[in-house]
Structure 1
Amino acid sequence: MQQRKQQLLRRHRQRKRVALLLGLPLLFSSALWFWWLPLPLLLAAWVLHEAYFADHLFYAPGDDYDYRFAGAGVSVSITADGRLGLAQLEGIAEADTLLLEVTIKADWRGCWVDPRVLIDVAQPHDQQTFERGCAGRRVVNLSGLGPALAAGQVRLRGRYCRLAGQATLHVLRNPDYACQRMLILAPHADDAELAAFAQYQRGAEVTIATLTVGELEAEPYQQLGLSAIEAARLKARLRSWDSRHAASWGGVPAERCFQLGYFCMQLPAMRAEPLLGHPSKVAQTGDIRPLRKGNALPLPGDVDGQPSWFNLLGDLRGLIEHYQPQVIVTPHPQLDPHADHQATTAALYEALAVSHHQPQTLLYYANHLHDNDRWPMGEQGEGVALPPALEPLTVAGVWSPSLSGAAQIDKSMALGLMHDLQTPLPGKKKLRRVLQHYLAGRRWPRWGVDEFYRKAIRRHELFFVQPWPIKDQAQRPE
């Protein structure tokens, strides 16, 4: 999965180089007429690039999303005024998750400004944003609107886009997983907060396990006069503290939060050589025990402190058998390409294969994507439409609980406790945001500069439901 994303990134950069080479003859010819003209042309090209073409969108906006839902959807019509024809649909008011597959086509304005689907319930209620120039099948999230849909009060409107007259509605009913015993696996500190803060805040019995200490990319801490090694160790201490204590803001006590102490971007190497220890790439340490001292439960990896796959599987098995979760929350094995995220779910599967306790359900989340680094697109507070799925993706179920305004504020404050989300923006990104604000109409949250404040503070949290055990081997990670 990570290899596929690198391939997409290389292809994206190659296309930019080709565009630059094609533009060079224009610059040379303009210099023949006016010697000063190439400079303003270059400046204009750079401004247009930063405003409109700097997104990492690695697919054609006209491609359809290819979701294969387990249950058949209901065909509904969209009237001229945007009403949904649901007169014969029963039980919709009780459904917790409602997904509308619909064809969206951007108009000429939607090629320059992000197209949006506006969702009105007596008054403007929500909007969900899609790719500029989109012209294909998309999935709008109507979760939380069951009673309004049943009463015929929901109206959809396209801004800078048009909606097709026919759509497919998927009506999904789930138990409230937050009321079950839950184990959340976070590859790094903040992954649990980004994906599932509102659910563990509501949860009655939640355990959080963070696999790595997050010591990479510690250059900002060198401004304190530290060497690269000292900065990496400081960052590891800070993020380990975050992983154990920030969740208390959401009601999960520190004794239910575990830091396993493994090292960033080493999980795939550990998986490839299960019995060997793989030390930190930057902190010059190979002992996982120093940052595990606050854990409330002794784990198998404490014995020798080796950062090995064998120890990781033992740690996960120990947590699963001790807390006996009914639900385990983990990164999506197909959608989330981050190498540590992929390895986390692979480790979970291997640990469950030898565990005496088995959960009933896995809930998958995606904090990163292969081919669209802006998803969820749009602004803070919007609903979460389903992510791009350009290859066929079989979906057993989806759970998308709604967040109140108060829950969104609490989640924003939880992200504020995460040191890694407080790094100031580089000057180039600040300038890009200014250009995109005035030229492309984009907005960013006032609280917090990191992109995850825009992506994660939303009207919904989104999980793909996988009953356990998995019968279809294609659903397992590579």
Structure 2
Amino acid sequence: MKKKRFLIIFGIFFVLFLSLFYLLKTKRSEIFDYDISENYHYKFNTRNTTKLNLIENKLLIPDNLGKGTTAFIKVNIKSTFLGKIFSPNIELISKSAKVIDYFEFGGSGDRYLNISSLLQEEAKQIELKSNFLEIQNATVELIHFSKSIPTESKILIISPHPDDAEIAAFGLYSKFPNSFILTITAGENGLMHYNEIFPDSIQHYLKKGQIRTINSISIPLMAGLKHDHILNLGYFDGTLKEMFDRDPHPVFSQILKTDSIGIFRNLNFSSLKDSLTGRSNWSSLVQNIQLVLDFFQPDIIVSPHPQMDSHPDHQFSTLATIEAIRNAGLNKGELFLYSNHHVKTEFFPFGKTGGTLSLPPNYDDDYHFHSVYSHALSEEDQMEKVLALDAMNDLRPNTQWRYWHKLLHWTYQNIKVSIKGQQNTYFRRAIRSNELFFVVPIQELNDETPFEKTLTPNRVILE
């Protein structure tokens, strides 16, 4: 009798195990809407590339590479069977440090390993330890860029929404106290994050916009920025493309049904707030960005990459910045371009918190950039970035935890997301051992850019 009961219980657990195993194997490979077996493709200048031999999973690094170098190793990988269930990854190990590069569940083909953080330790040999994948090539390609940022550099961060600056570049701007955070919108749209407190949608989204605007103004203070170098322009979330298309006509908030940007702009305390002009239209946006450019005169402007980032507000924030750069007559410095919503997948970067941020999925030569800059984050830097993101109300769990039945539902949803491998919170994606930027010289912006040709091929100015 006991044996029979044991066999029944064993059978039940075995069926549950097989069901979970099948679910993991199938669902985790379905979250990507592109062919994960294709080669990533980037076209680099041959003077920035070198062939290296991978001998017993070890690479000897050339002597001319060291601190201040951004470098990638191009390898060809093939996920094992277990790599469809667990995140395939390669540990990169030097004498004094280690980083981990993660890939798609079941991913195969040419991929890029970011070894930049190891070069900060002047590594001469790097060991590659594969987990849930196999490296297919014995000869690999090293791609490298020399770039260091002088400590006195003035860095302007363009943040389309409250929290974008922190997600993309908190580690960077916290090391350069002479930085300026310019947030474009109040970020009032999105989920009803506080619907248990404010059932009225107008009241809810007004309060949400106010809270997020205050977040954007206060959190950079944690990194030591001057209060005069923090500004939110107060434009409406999700409207930048419409502002571009309808210029010079003002655009209404999608939810609040008002065109008065003063309801959020008035929360600023920078001395520049009294110089802000205009209404919720494109010309006003460009003029106000130019105001900041004229005041701050940045050496580096950090902004979303219009071709790599899928969010229209991110794309058009950068287009407005480019227009303002031309109007201001800037011809020196560089654009550092980032992506918080990659066009190929919202799950990039892959893998766990603390992994490296490397080159994202790409299958053509359309992405425009001249070089790449990887900014290393120590473990302490990453902890500080966690605190910065945690201080952003919109990135934290909503107020459902106050009600036990809603807490149970929230727990169930998180377990389901974890099983499917669909965890794409910014605490997983943004807390990495580096921050990554694609670099374009500002002097190139005198002519029409590939960004404008892609996004605004036939613009018509309304009368």
Tell me the TM-score range normalised by the shorter chain: 0.7 to 0.9
Aligned counterparts of 1:459 and 1:359: Cα–Cα separation in 2? 30
The match for 2:264 is: 291
Letter in 2 for 1:159: N
Quote the Cα distance in structure 1 between the aligned partners of 2:294 and 2:321. Answer: 13
Distance 2:369 2:73 in 1: 14
Q: Structure 1 residues 466-475 or 286-295, which shifts more?
A: 466-475
1:68 to 27, 40, 43: 43
2:385 is aligned with 1:411: yes
Q: Report if aligned partners of 2:355, 2:433 keep a CA contact under 8 Å in 1.
A: yes
Q: Report the Cα offset of residue 217 of structure 1.
A: 2.3
Alignment partner, residue 463 of structure 1: 437
Among 15, 28, 32, the alignment partner of 1:57 is: 32
The 3-state SS of whatever aligns with 1:398 is: strand
| 2:134 maps to 1:162 | yes
* Residue 311 (structure 2) aligns with: 338
CA distance in 1, matches of 2:302, 2:226: 18
Is residue 77 of structure 1 aligned with residue 49 of structure 2? no
The one-letter code sitting in structure 1 at the alignment partner of 2:326 is A
> Counterpart of 2:302?
329
Cα shift at 1:224: 1.3
3-state SS of 1:180 partner: coil
**Structure 1 unmatched runs, 5+:** 1-39, 445-449
Paired residues of 2:67 and 2:121 also in contact (CA < 8 A)? no
Matched AA of 2:270: A
The 2-side partners of 1:344 and 1:178 are apart by 27
Rounded to whole Å, the distance in 2 between the matches of 1:140 and 1:428 is 39
- State the distance in 2 between where 1:205 and 1:108 align: 49
**Counterpart mapping for 1:60-459 below 5 A:** 60-70=35-45, 71-79=47-55, 81-86=56-61, 89-122=62-95, 125-146=98-119, 150-152=123-125, 154-163=126-135, 164-176=137-149, 179-293=152-266, 294-298=268-272, 302-304=276-278, 306-392=279-365, 393-424=367-398, 430-431=411-412, 433-434=414-415, 451-459=425-433
Cα gap change, 1:464 to 1:430, in 2 (>3 Å): farther
Alpha-carbon separation, structure 1, partners of 2:276 and 2:309: 30
How far 1:60 moved relative to its partner?
0.8
1:436/1:187 Cα in 2 relative to 1: closer, same or farther (>3 Å)?
closer
Amino acid in the other structure paired with 2:377: L
Contact kept in structure 2, 1:64 and 1:136, CA below 8 Å: yes
**Given the superposition, is the C-alpha separation of residues 299 and 433 from structure 1 closer, same or farther in structure 2, using an over 3 Å criterion?**
closer
Deviations 1:324-374 (A, max 9, x none): 001100001211010100010111111112113344100001111122221
Label 1:95 to 1:303 Cα distance change in 2 as closer, same or farther (>3 A). closer
Question: Secondary structure in 1 aligned to 2:375?
Answer: coil
**CA distance in 1: counterparts of 2:277 and 2:434, whole angstroms:** 41
Moved more, 454-463 or 66-75: 66-75
In 2: Cα distance, 1:377 partner to 1:273 partner = 38
Offset at residue 475 of structure 1 (A): 3.4
Distance 1:410 1:329, change over 3 A: same
Task: Give the AA of the match of 2:345.
Answer: N
Tell me the secondary structure at the aligned position of residue 138 of structure 1. strand
Moved more, 377-386 or 120-129: 120-129
**Aligned residue for 1:12?**
none
Judged with a 3 Å threshold, the aligned counterparts in structure 2 of structure 1 residues 279 and 436 are, in CA distance, closer, same or farther, namely closer
**Contact 1:338 1:368 (8 Å CA) reproduced:** yes
Asked if structure 2 preserves the Cα contact closer than 8 Å seen for 1:127 and 1:382, the reply is yes
**Percent of aligned pairs with the same residue?**
26
1:25 is matched with: none
Aligned to 2:450: 475
Q: Give the Å deviation of 1:256.
A: 1.1
Measured at CA, do residues 263 and 225 of structure 1 come closer, stay the same or move farther in structure 2, by a change above 3 Å? closer
Deviation per CA, 1:209-239, whole angstroms, max 9, x where unpaired? 1000111125232311441001010001101
Q: What code does the residue aligned with 2:415 have?
A: V
CA contact (8 A) 2:67 2:122 kept: no
Q: TM-score, normalised by structure 2?
A: 0.85
Cα distance change, pair 138–428 in 1 and its aligned pair in 2 (3 A): farther
Whole-angstrom CA distance in 2 between matches of 1:345 and 1:338: 11
Kept after mapping to 1: 8 A contact 2:348/2:360: yes
Could you tell me whether the CA contact under 8 Å between 1:51 and 1:435 is conserved in 2? no
Q: Secondary structure at the match of 2:39?
A: coil
TM-score w.r.t. the length of structure 1 is 0.82
Q: How far off its partner does 1:141 sit?
A: 0.4
Residue pair 1:106, 1:135 contacting (<8 A) in 2 also: yes
Extract unaligned runs of 5+ from structure 2.
1-14, 401-405, 456-463
Q: Which amino acid aligns with 1:391?
A: D
- 1:146-170: CA deviations, max 9, x gaps? 2766532x10021111112121111
